[in-house]
Amino acid sequence: MPDDAIRCDACPVLCYIKPGRTGSCDRYGNHEGKLVRLDPHVMLDRTLERGDSVVPFLERSGEWDGTLVSHGETFVTAIGAGTTYPDYKPAPFIISSQAQGVDMVTVVTEGIFSYCGVKVKIDTDRYLGAECSTVRAEGEAIGHVTTSEYGSQMLSLGGVRHLTGGSRHEGTATCDALLNLCNGQAVELEIDDGANIVVQAGKPPVVDNMAEERMRVGCGSAAIGMFAKQWYGKVDEVVVVDDHITGVLSEHQAGKLLGVPETGIKLKGRRSTPGRYFQVAEPGTSWGGTNIEDPLSILGKFSPRKAWPGLRLLMVSTTGEHYAYFELDENLSPQERDLPASLQESVARIRENCEPALCTVLFMGGAGGSLRAGVTENPVKLTHSVSRAFTRVTCGGAPVYVWPGGGITFMVDVSRMPQNAFGYVPTPALVAPIEFTLKLADYAALGGYVRNVRPLSSVVSSNDGRRRLAARSDNPWPLGSPQEMPEQKLSAKRRPTKPGRMKQTKR
């Protein structure tokens, strides 16, 4: 027998254990030549680690039944010993009592979203990529850059085509990225002919390894309007550099109103209206979302008929992050000088007025045929009920916006959901919690499985496998005001346990 193996005598199996390995029980191991009992906490940590992809059970102290859950419940419930027993090992086959079994499986099946994706809003003016550019994760196309919004770049990721329409790798990469984004993890994305970004819900974006700090205060023209008065008299000309609309104080309506004299400045780019210029440079990740490093590169020569030596020029970006101060010499050529104290305040104020730049992630999914069939025997009635607002839709207890029109397509801010609320299936598709809440009478009227409705008390009293979480104070209570949350309202919103009635039987 090799020297480095040790013999474990904890049980009659008497395993020989090599260094760094455990015996057949996984409880005793050879740690640097010593037999050690693996600390229960270590085991527990491993369990928790594995639990990363597990969905917490959303429940409110004593009042909310736990059925509002995605498939993590299934796992938690199904593993049985797992959540409480430190030595737990997940079984590849999971079995449970019929009541639990049917419940779990129903939940699992119902939350599978093939038609889903995320809309990501990235607060930055930096150039991330052209509209319609492909966005990649792990080299696979998972979405595209869509139309930008105020101060923000927008990505549309996922969707059924990337999830199931492409190669298996494309589907897996898409599913992984969506899952991580929805669960609040950081995801690295690459935009074709654009930037490399790291996106995480509720965190500043990182663009080409630079963390974005602030949103711009406004477009260049808006910045002129906001700060014209504070600049008046302290400086002769101000250019607010912006990839969209660069503003020029002396030509801008706000400057004119104050009586700022013409300065003979010449901007490159296309003049839109007085003092407002488009396309002064190419998009980029530098000054005001342009590609310029030297602000003077967007200026032509000053007109000798209007400019004068000593003219004071401030150039600043829309976030105040970049700025430079110049004075014209005798040849009317700008020479850089230190920013005078009198102007420092206004630059600081631009920065101050920029809100923290964040990435925000909205999950968008469509609740389709079989999911609705889990709620009612006549699925379209559920859709009608939702669209007429008789039925409230929540996602892990968080409020959703239900898109008008046909079907039940909704959006939810993932940061308002419980942590790790999303799971996946290898299809690939995301598993997300979705709850339909309505009055029992309405439920009966739309063909619900009324006989299967369990009173809340029966669910709350059986404690196993249910994890209680405090409700988030910034979310409206899913059942209306908590005081009026009575038992005559429906406790189990989806079709609850019914022995002998399985989703798969209706294929």
Contacts with other proteins in 363-422 (CB under 8 A)?
368-371
Examine residue 12 and tell whether it contacts other proteins (CB under 8 A): yes
Report the residue from 58, 68, 102, 395 that binds other proteins according to the rule CB under 8 A. Answer: 102
CB nearer to other proteins: pick between 104 and 354: 104
Map 387-438 to HEC letters.
HCCCCEEEECCEECEECCCCCEEEEEEHHHCCCCCCEEECCCEEECCCEEEC
Residue 247's SS3 state is strand
Chain position carrying tokens 């009042």: 63
| In the complex, minimum distance from the CB of residue 44 to other proteins, in angstroms, rounded to a whole number | 15
Helical (H) or strand (E) element with 228: helix 220-231
CB nearer to other proteins: pick between 11 and 130: 11
Report the residue from 29, 66, 67, 109 that binds other proteins according to the rule CB under 8 A. Answer: 109
Q: Interacting stretch for other proteins, rule CB under 8 A, among 71-79, 271-279, 323-331, 409-417?
A: 71-79
134-163: contacts with other proteins (CB under 8 A): 160
CB nearer to other proteins: pick between 7 and 268: 7
| In the complex, minimum distance from the CB of residue 427 to other proteins, in angstroms, rounded to a whole number | 4
Q: Report the C-alpha dihedral over residues 8, 12, 14, 20, rounded to 10 degrees.
A: -50
Report the residue from 58, 68, 104, 224 that binds other proteins according to the rule CB under 8 A. Answer: 104
Examine residue 231 and tell whether it contacts other proteins (CB under 8 A): no
Taking the alpha carbons of 43, 49, 55, 59 in that order, is the dihedral positive or negative? positive
26-45: contacts with other proteins (CB under 8 A): 26
Report the residue from 39, 45, 48, 97 that binds other proteins according to the rule CB under 8 A. Answer: 97
488-507: contacts with other proteins (CB under 8 A): 500, 502-505, 507
CB nearer to other proteins: pick between 350 and 429: 429
Neighbours of 358 (CB within 10 A): 20
Report the residue from 113, 231, 302, 410 that binds other proteins according to the rule CB under 8 A. Answer: 113
Alpha helices in 325-410 (DSSP H): 341-352, 369-373, 379-387
Instruction: Report in angstroms the alpha-carbon separations of 428 from 161, 178, 199, 431.
Output: 11, 11, 22, 10
Q: Measured between alpha carbons, how far is 287 from 285 in angstroms, rounded to an integer?
A: 7
Residues 6+ apart with CB under 8 A from 445: none
Using CB under 8 A, count the residues that bind other proteins: 76
450-479: contacts with other proteins (CB under 8 A): 462-465
76-95: contacts with other proteins (CB under 8 A): 78-81, 84-85, 87, 89-95
Q: Measured between alpha carbons, how far is 19 from 34 in angstroms, rounded to an integer?
A: 8
CB nearer to other proteins: pick between 109 and 124: 109
Q: Measured between alpha carbons, how far is 373 from 264 in angstroms, rounded to an integer?
A: 71
Q: Measured between alpha carbons, how far is 292 from 274 in angstroms, rounded to an integer?
A: 23
Q: Interacting stretch for other proteins, rule CB under 8 A, among 101-109, 191-199, 226-234, 271-279?
A: 101-109
163-182: contacts with other proteins (CB under 8 A): 164, 168, 172
Q: 141 has which bridge partners?
A: 136
